[in-house]
Amino acid sequence: MDLSWSLKELYDSFEDIQFKEDIKKLDELIKKIKTWIDDSTVNRDNEKEKLEKYIKFVVELTGLHEKLATFSMLTLSVDSKHELGNKFDAVLEQKMSTLAGAEAKMSLWISETKELDTLINDSDLLKEHAFYLKEIVREQKYKLGEKEEDIIARMQNTGSSAWVTYKNLLIASHKVEIEIGGEVKEMPLTEVLNMAYDKDKEVRKKAYTAEISSYKKIEEGIAAALNAIKGEVLTICEMRGYDSPLDMTLQNSRMDSKTLEVMLEAMKESFPMFRKYLRKKAEMLGYKKGLPFYELYAPIVKKEMPFSYEAGKAFVEKNFRAFSDDLADFARMAMDKHWIDVAPKEGKVGGAFCCGIHSIGECRIMLNYGNNLSDVITMAHELGHGFHNECLIGESILNINYPMPLAETASTFCETIVKKASLKEADEEEALAILEEEISGCTQVIVDIYSRFIFESEVFKLRKDGPLSVNEINNIMLKAQQEAYGEGLDAEYLHPYMWTWKSHYYYADANFYNFPYAFGLLLAKGLYAQYEKDKDNFPKKYEKLLAVTGKKSIADVVKEAGIDVNSTDFWRSSLRIIEEDIERFIELSDKICH
């Protein structure tokens, strides 16, 4: 059976006459839009007609570009050396970037429309795109003049971007000296980090000790990069008029500060239960003073749970069907219509993803299916993204971009469905393995993410007064880990250097790239709690919620399912789902391991 995906719904090949014609069409359209913007923004005549025309232009351009760019990207993801794929991938990006100046001009013009609300109310097309237009106006508030924007963009190439390159070079070429079998070897950092999953306790500890002491060689350089990037972010935030980097992130996420506040509060309340789990794991591994940091990923029970692709498909469809026919029918369609590229092969990139193709109302899912339960769960995760995309098909292409905190909702939700189902069918040892994987993942997303949030807040706070030394940064990290993990971890074995290789701290354009993960996980769990309360009516509400993720603020999106993200109780109900798993884990481990 052919387990490759079909791309002919887009184009037959890069030589396809349709592909060539679409490239030509894209060139013409970009040229047309540029000229039109230049002509239209000189005065304020016919504002409504101009706004309508602009929306039509952007819809056409976005759809055409999506089709072309997706074809290149998908081709490359299963054949990374594809020559024409690589060529067009770069060419398309370059073509689109030529519109930046004109777009900036148009955004300013839209923001200066005096009676925007009246105009929107007067036109069905504008009404449909009201959120899109208002987002342009909202973002404009923080834009500087054309000249300043130009200077910032250029200086960032030699500022934060250059520092990221430098830091990545340091990390990529970093070698850790480690003694293996009586011989001292130099190993790449990634290999040493992977040893945290080793089944041998001594190996895990050795890897940690070697890793920590290895940073002496590069710590000053990495600290310089962190100081430079965080410093640049602070300067730009101030110039643009944001209250703080956190304020900027929240605005970009369409999220209220109140929401973040109550979510963090509920997370903090839940720490005792995570610490209980960590201490249990410590005990199982023979530690008395809490878990050493290097044992966080230690495997406790090794249990293979084989699942062929056929069996995996059937399992996913069956359990999706218990949720709703719409979800199960969608999954079946994706499987039958060859939307999934299943098996690992040469030239194919690692991991898994789902890519929506709004312009043809389909999606494609890439897997590297390896015949295990974890592969079934990944398939459910990606199909969850696909279903999200399916729910957005009726929307305009300008209304489908959802912010990061909502990006993993549908996928985590589907994962939860399949995990809960697999727990029901598992024997006790298998159940313990499934639970351990799930809970250790949740511990990262709730407890570790909390420590990263405190760390980043503190770094920004102190960086305002000048650069921080390696020692200071290490101490901020240790304090943050202590605050989050408490007695769950052995205070003697924390990880002061977690800021070195975690790339999230070095994204100048996406600060606090931590709490959205917690938000995503807890929102999905909270939705699952709602589902358990009302199995008949929830699935339809869920679909409606997914359909508006690209055209409302987060608080308004979740209102579709009757959820108030500004209430601590909502987050408590999400954490309660994890608590049930932890209780079951402790119960089972007492039974099996004693």
Nearer to Zn ion, 411 or 443 (CB): 411
Strand partners, 201: none
Minimum CB separation of residue 168 from Zn ion in Å reads 23
Least gap, CB of 388 to Zn ion (angstroms): 10
CA 462/CA 475 separation, integer angstroms: 12
Q: What is the CA radius of gyration of the chain?
A: 25
Q: Of the listed pieces 88-96, 222-230, 265-273, 411-419, which binds Zn ion according to CB under 5 A?
A: 411-419
Choose between 411 and 514: whose C-beta lies nearer to Zn ion.
411
Closest approach, Cβ 55 to Zn ion, in A, equals 30
- Strand 362-366 relative to strand 340-341: parallel, antiparallel, unpaired? parallel
- Tell me the residue nearest to Zn ion as measured from the CB: 411
Interface stretch with Zn ion, choices 200-208, 406-414, 517-525, 574-582 (CB under 5 A) = 406-414
User: Which of residues 362 and 382 has its CB atom nearest to Zn ion in the complex?
Assistant: 382
User: Nearest distance from residue 381's CB to Zn ion, in Å?
Assistant: 6
Distance CA(185)–CA(139), nearest Å, equals 52
- 416 near Zn ion, rule: CB under 5 A: no
- At which residue do the structure tokens 């965080």 appear? 230
Specify the amino acid at residue 586: I
List of residues 6+ apart from 222 with CB closer than 8 A = 167, 170, 171, 215, 499, 500
Q: Please, where are the H alpha helices in 392-494?
A: 404-407, 409-425, 428-443, 449-463, 470-485
Binding mask 358-397 for Zn ion (x = CB under 5 A): ----------------------------------------
Closest separation between CB of residue 275 and Zn ion, Å?
Answer: 28
b/e map of 453-489 (b: 16 or more CB within 10 Å)? Answer: bbbbbbbbeebeeeebebeebbebbbbbbeebbbbbb
**Minimal distance, residue 377 CB to Zn ion, in Å:** 12
CA 230 to chain centre: 21
Cα gap 295→292, rounded to integer Å: 6
Specify the stretch interacting with Zn ion by CB under 5 A; choose among 154-162, 259-267, 295-303, 407-415: 407-415
Stretch that binds Zn ion, among 286-294, 336-344, 404-412, 537-545 (CB under 5 A): 404-412
User: Which is nearer to Zn ion, 411 or 451 (by Cβ)?
Assistant: 411
Instruction: Give, for 356, the enclosing helix (H) or strand (E).
Output: strand 353-357
Q: CB nearer to Zn ion: give 227 or 411.
A: 411
Q: Residue 524 or residue 548: which is nearer to Zn ion going by CB?
A: 524
Residue nearer to Zn ion on the CB measure, 433 or 524: 524
Q: Which residues pair with 372 in a beta bridge?
A: 306
Q: Which is nearer to Zn ion, 411 or 573 (CB)?
A: 411
DSSP labels for 63-79? HHHHHHHHHHHHHHHHS
- Using CB under 5 A as the binding rule, whether residue 411 contacts Zn ion is answered as yes
The size of the interface with Zn ion (CB under 5 A), counted in residues, is 1
Residues of the shown chain interacting with Zn ion in the complex, contacts defined by CB under 5 A: 411
